[in-house]
Structure 1
Amino acid sequence: MSRELTGFYRSLAEDTDPRGLAAPDLVRRYADRRARTRAALGVLTAAALVGVTAVGAQFVLAAAPDTRVGPPADTPAPPSPVPSDPTPTPSATSPGPSGSASRQPPSTSPTRGGTSPAARTPTSIPDSAFFALAAANDTGAGSRFGEGQVLPALCGAEPGASGTVRQRVRSVPFKLAGTPEGNIPDGLYRHSITIYRDGKAAAALDELRDAVRDCPEQPVGKVTSRQKLLPSSGYGDESVLFEMRSPSVDLNGDPSGGGGEDVRLIRAIRVGTVVTVLWEQGWEGGSSPKPQVDADSRRAVLAIRNWLR
């Protein structure tokens, strides 16, 4: 400290508090101590702020562990990469005419002997599974359910006898369109539906074909009946149609002597594991009207498909 300042301080001390002022060295020591105290307090305050900030951040992170900010909701997602030359799998390709692989559509054909894709295996046969006659062919007599044969005798063969799960049979009289009211029916169906175990329905139709081929002739009552397979396609998954042709007979079963013949038509149709048979037995003679049998065969298939849906 300079002499002038020291002298001035001494004069000031003498003119003020009689207790005197602190010496300059003591004042300087107090000032240094205050400065150090302020610095220490500043450091402690900063440290406390840092600690509080760290604790708050940890608390926020613990309360919301996954609060990532994503793109706006209406931001379109980037398109997925599409291979420029995809390699087809072996099961979906087949060699083309030039040796290259060409894609083939999956097969939807029913498996022979199994259930078609649109059919299921039922466990019971409701009345709705049987077709209804067209209004022009309905005699008004209705149908009658009962027991009995579903196929005519074929030299003792019993096609489709094994593998049966359930079976129902009914008799349905019908008339031809234009037949006057009150007339006798023009024909009578022996209509049956049979459920088979898997694979047995197709086997039943194979057995029926063999039985018809193996029985070209047989006695029926007082006359001889001749059996023959006929073309049949477009009914269900597969079908068998055959005729039984014999001389016309009178009401007593004797040959009429006029040289005429009666023809009975029988069609068996498979839909999955179900087989339906329309056996047209006639009504007091006459032959089976094939257009009517064909039309009712289509109605029978439609009724079964609706039932199996």
Structure 2
Amino acid sequence: MSRELTGFYRSLAEDTDPRGLAAPDMVRRYADRRARTRAALGVLTAAALVGGTAVGAQFVLTAGPATRVGPPADTPAPPSPVPSDPTPTPSATSPGPSRSASQQPPSTSSTRVPPPARTPTSIPDSAFFALAAANDTGAGARFGEGQVLPALCGAEPGASRTVRQRVRTVPFKLAGAPEGSIPDGLYQHSITIYRDGAAADALDELRDAVRECPQQQLGDVIRRQKLLPSSGYGEESVLFEVRGPYQVPDGGPTGEVVHLVRAIRIGSVVTVLWDQGWEGSSTPKSQLDADSRRAVTAIRDWLR
């Protein structure tokens, strides 16, 4: 405190009751105490506001399901607790939620197993293939009775286990043949339904019959049979040739003719294409191969 203020204070004290006026030091201490009190009150007020905010937040967080503020609708729910179990945990045996879809093991439920081939009981016309336009003579096919296979020393592969059989004859021409010309070949085409499991046995018996009959006498003619490689037709197939002399009706033999026979199995069904030629002609194997593929397609469409 300055000297002038102190002197002034003393003069004032002399004119008043010394007991009613406090000393300058007391006045200063009193002022300092008031300042500290105000500061303390400010701190307490701020602390009370912070405490009230914390208490309110805690009340919201601990409130029941009716008042709790839940996460957004698109927030994934936390995983449920896994009970203790001696068996391996899901994280050890199966991919976790964060694993990418490409790492997931394939689902056996989505694996499609093809249905077993059904065994039909009748043979419609649609089960027989149609010739390509370039090979169609316009004469059409004729259904009737007839042999399914050429003679093989008296063997009849699978004959006792058939359920249904149909046979037709199909004349055909080679591509590029002139219009109005005679056919280039004739198929004896058959479809046979066998009892379950007997169709495969019938083809095995056919292979054995061809092997065991390499040559046979038919009237005045000797014919020879030989197995040929065949694959890629149906579930399995057998191809063999029948080779013999070509004879002119009014004369003796003038050469050799080769006829091809292919038997194809699809499930319990066997179809046979037996090329019998036309007036002593031989059919190219490429033509038989093409018509064999058409025959397989027609049967598969029928069995769907």
- Give the TM interval when normalised to the shorter protein: 0.5 to 0.7
Instruction: Give runs of aligned pairs for residues 121-160 of structure 1, distance below 5 A.
Output: 121-160=119-158
**Structure 1 pair 168/77, CA: closer, same or farther in 2 (3 Å)?**
farther
Aligned residues: 213
Deviations 1:255-295 (A, max 9, x none): 42x3x210010000000000000000001012121100000
Instruction: Give runs of aligned pairs for residues 280-291 of structure 1, distance below 5 A.
Output: 280-291=275-286
CA distance in 2, matches of 1:217, 1:121: 36
Q: Secondary structure at the match of 1:128?
A: helix
For the aligned residue pairs, the C-alpha RMSD in angstroms reads 2.9
Q: Which residue of 2 aligns with 1:308?
A: 303
Unaligned runs of 5+ in 2: 1-69, 81-88, 95-105
CA contact (8 A) 1:194 1:275 kept: yes
Q: Secondary structure at the match of 1:162?
A: helix
Q: Which residue of 1 aligns with 2:288?
A: 293
Deviations 1:133-152 (A, max 9, x none): 00000000010000121011
Q: Which residue of 2 aligns with 1:271?
A: 266
CA contact (8 A) 1:162 1:200 kept: no
CA distance in 2, matches of 1:71, 1:124: 66
**Structure 1 pair 267/76, CA: closer, same or farther in 2 (3 Å)?**
same
Deviations 1:75-114 (A, max 9, x none): 646679854346xxxxxxxxxxxxxxxx9x9xx9xxxxxx
Q: Which residue of 1 aligns with 2:19?
A: none
1:84 matched to 2:79: no
Deviation at 1:251, TM superposition (A): 2.0
Q: Which residue of 2 aligns with 1:222?
A: 220
Deviations 1:159-208 (A, max 9, x none): 11021111110000000000001110000000000011111000000010
Deviations 1:226-271 (A, max 9, x none): 000000000000000000001111125x642x3x210010000000
Q: Which residue of 1 aligns with 2:198?
A: 200
Deviation at 1:118, TM superposition (A): 6.0
CA distance in 2, matches of 1:218, 1:192: 24
CA distance in 1, matches of 2:295, 2:115: 19
Bigger share in helix: 2
**Structure 1 pair 71/244, CA: closer, same or farther in 2 (3 Å)?**
farther
Amino acid at match of 1:119: A
CA contact (8 A) 1:245 1:263 kept: yes
Unaligned runs of 5+ in 1: 1-69, 87-102, 109-115
TM-score computed with the length of structure 1 as normaliser: 0.63
Q: Secondary structure at the match of 1:84?
A: helix
Identity, % of aligned positions: 77
**Structure 1 pair 84/306, CA: closer, same or farther in 2 (3 Å)?**
same
CA distance in 2, matches of 1:166, 1:73: 66
Q: Which runs of 4+ in 1 moved over 3 A?
A: 70-86
